[in-house]
Structure formats: C-alpha cells, structure tokens
Structure 1
Amino acid sequence: MATPKIITFLLIISIIYFAGKVESASRTRSSATNFIKGQCSTTQYPAQCVQSLSVYASVIKQSPRKLAETALSVSLARAQSAKVFVSKMGKFRGLKSREYKAIGDCIEEMGDSIDRLSKSIREMKRVGNGKGRELQWHISNVQTWVSAALTDENTCIDGFAGRALDGKIKSSVRARVVNVAQVTSNGLALVNRFASKL
C-alpha cells in the first residue's frame, strides 16, 4: 500500500504536469488569437473578422491557409442561415408585391452565393496539393467565386433599394445579408492575402 508521502508526491507531480499543459495550451491559443488579429487588421471589417474567427483559433493556429479556409466556411454558414431567414420573411402575410419580388430575387441570389462559396471552399482545399501554375489556377478560381458570391449578396441588398420597400422586412433582410457580405468581404481579403504570399 502506498504511503501518504508517495501519494502526496504523485499528486504534486500530477498538478504540476497538468498546470504546464494548461499554460501551454493557453499560450498557443493566445498566439493564434494574436495571429488572427494581425491578419484581420488588413480586412475592411477587422472587428467583425476577429469576432467571427477567433473562436476557431485552435484550428487556425498560425496558418494563413487555414485562416482563409475558415473565413470562407464562416461566410458559407452565414449565407445559408441568411437564405433560411429570407425564405421565412417571404411567408409573411400582407407583403407588398415589390417586397415579395425582392425577397424571391434575394433567395435566388443567396442560393447562388451559397453555391459559389461551397465551390470556393472545395477549391481552397485543393490549393494544398497544387504547385506552380496549378496552384495559381486553384487560387484564381477561389478568388473568382468568392468575388461572385459577394456580388450576389450585394445584388440581394440592392433589390431592397428605394423608399417603396421601407419597413421591417427591408431592414431585417438588409441587416442579415449585410452581415453576410461583410464576412464574405473579409474572407476574400484573407484569401487575397494568402495568395500574395505564395
């Protein structure tokens, strides 16, 4: 049977070991968060960039490629959520015919955005396998699709222009889709930054 001194000694060793592990994980997370802040400082919406990506610090670590991939994944998730939200808006009773049309057009635009962001994420995963011209081709595809997704999102927002559509539907849809467009803009900036280092 172990003596109390041995048990105490083993307990102290265990505490020191686990405290070191916790401190090391904390340092790694802090380093990753600082990396994200530095990269996000070059985007158009840096505060939103940091807020949306720092929760993934343990996955991103200090990888510009992982940062760009994660930013695109966040954009895709928000675009999907926004499409569902806009679809629900279209089911409200008493919509004006122009509101109904703007919502329908927006749902279509968000569908296109989702498709392009999905393609860009798949293509971004291929970047790791490419070399030289092939690598540049993959990156160019990603940049083209993310740009097109951003255009789709802005087209949805533009569909609600004018005073005739003023009201809760317009403000709700615009707020949701503007958020998606800002995240997509940040994602594109991070892809461009990653591409510039290749």
Structure 2
Amino acid sequence: MQTQRSNTLAIALSTYFLLLLCPSPPRAAAARDPVRSSCAEARYPSLCIQTLSNFSNSSAKPLDLAQGAVKVTLTRTRSLSLYLKTLQSRTAASAPKRQRVALSDCVSQISDSVTELSRALNELQHLRAGTFEWQMSNAQTWTSAALTNGNACLDGFNAAAAAAAAIRLEVKRRVTDVGMLTSNALYMITRLGDTGRN
C-alpha cells in the first residue's frame, strides 16, 4: 500500500515538473485583424488592406468594410471623372478625332460609374432584414457595372492609337487604379452577402 502511494506521488510529481518545463501553448491571438482576414481573398489584397487601414485592429464588421471599400472607390472614381472632364476640355481642339471620341466615351462611362457606385453605397447604408438579399443583389449589380464601365473606357482609349503616349498612359493608370478598387469593393459586397448583415 505504501509503495503504491509512493509510486502515485512520484508520477504526480513527475507530471507536475514536466508541465512546468514544457513551454505553454501559444496564447490565442489577440482579436484577429478584421481587415487582414477580410482582404485575404480579395483580388488585390495589399490594396484592400491599404484602402481599409482605418478599420485595422477594430471590431469592424463585414458591413463596415463593404461600405468603407465602396466609399473609397466612389471618392477615387469621382476624382477620375473630374480628371477626364478636365482632360477632355483641355484637348478638345487639338486631339485627333479618334482620341476625342474615346475620351468622350470614357467621360460618359466613368460618370455612369459614379452614379452606380453611389447607388450601391446607398443600398449598403439602408439595408433591411426583409429586403437584404434583393438589396445585396442591387449593390453587386451596380458595382459590377462600374467595373465594366472602367474596362470599356480602357478598351476604347487603348484603341485610340493616335492618342499621345503620355495621356494614354496616365488615363490607363488612373482607370486601372479605380478598377482595382472597384474589384475589391465588389468582393467586399459579395462577402457581406455571404456572411449576412453582421
């Protein structure tokens, strides 16, 4: 009986000392960064993280991130629209006809994008439980249309071979930038639709 108690005590002490010597399991990470985890699957994850950096290390929900992504995209699209209108008025007299037509199309398409992104943002800001899926579908459709407009603008302007190289490159850079933001915004809206209103 005494030997059995001694063995039990020895085993208990050995286990205790082993537990003291073993490194403790890593603590659960503090709260996961909602931006990094949400942007991981976006088409342009680094841009997504940079765009939504104001939400880092916060309790931001998918709705906050979707609205934030659309707001940033809308702001940048408005800036692009203004740039294109200014470029159009500046080159109206001197640019070759093909370039003028391409630029005019771009102005119209990007202006449409501003309207569509505004509608998408409005839907996201007024979501209701009873119409959630329908509103999400609207937001996705309008954001997707804005993305298509940007691609059409680029295609038309790239076809205008007579356009000055510097102008063509600058238009391409700005439209591509907005396209990347729009793609990420569409991803965030789709993600919100998949996760629900939270």
* 1:115 partnered with 2:112: no
Letter of the 2:118 partner, please give it: S
Whether the 8 Å CA contact 2:147–2:179 is kept in 1: the answer is yes
* 1:137 partnered with 2:134: yes
Whether the 8 Å CA contact 2:95–2:163 is kept in 1: the answer is no
In structure 1, the partner of 2:97 is 97
Which structure 2 residue ranges, 5 or more long, are not aligned? 1-29
Whether the 8 Å CA contact 2:35–2:55 is kept in 1: the answer is no
**RMSD of equivalent CA atoms:** 1.9
Q: CA deviation at 1:31?
A: 5.2
In structure 2, the partner of 1:86 is 84
The structure with more helix, counted as a fraction of residues:
1
* Partner SS state of residue 44, structure 1: coil
In the superposition, the TM-score normalised over structure 1's length comes to 0.77
In the superposition, the TM-score normalised over structure 2's length comes to 0.77
Whether the 8 Å CA contact 2:96–2:162 is kept in 1: the answer is no
The number of aligned residues is: 164
Deviations along 1:89-136, whole A, 9 cap, x unmatched? 111363121111111110100110000000000011122x223xx111
Letter of the 2:83 partner, please give it: F
- Of 185, 190, 193, the match for 1:192: 190
Equivalents in 2 of 1:61, 1:82: separation in Å? 32
Which structure 1 residue ranges, 5 or more long, are not aligned? 1-29
- Of 149, 154, 157, the match for 1:157: 154
Letter of the 1:136 partner, please give it: E
In structure 2, the partner of 1:15 is none
Equivalents in 2 of 1:191, 1:180: separation in Å? 16
Q: CA deviation at 1:194?
A: 1.0
Letter of the 2:170 partner, please give it: S
* 1:51 partnered with 2:50: yes
Pair member with larger Rg: 2
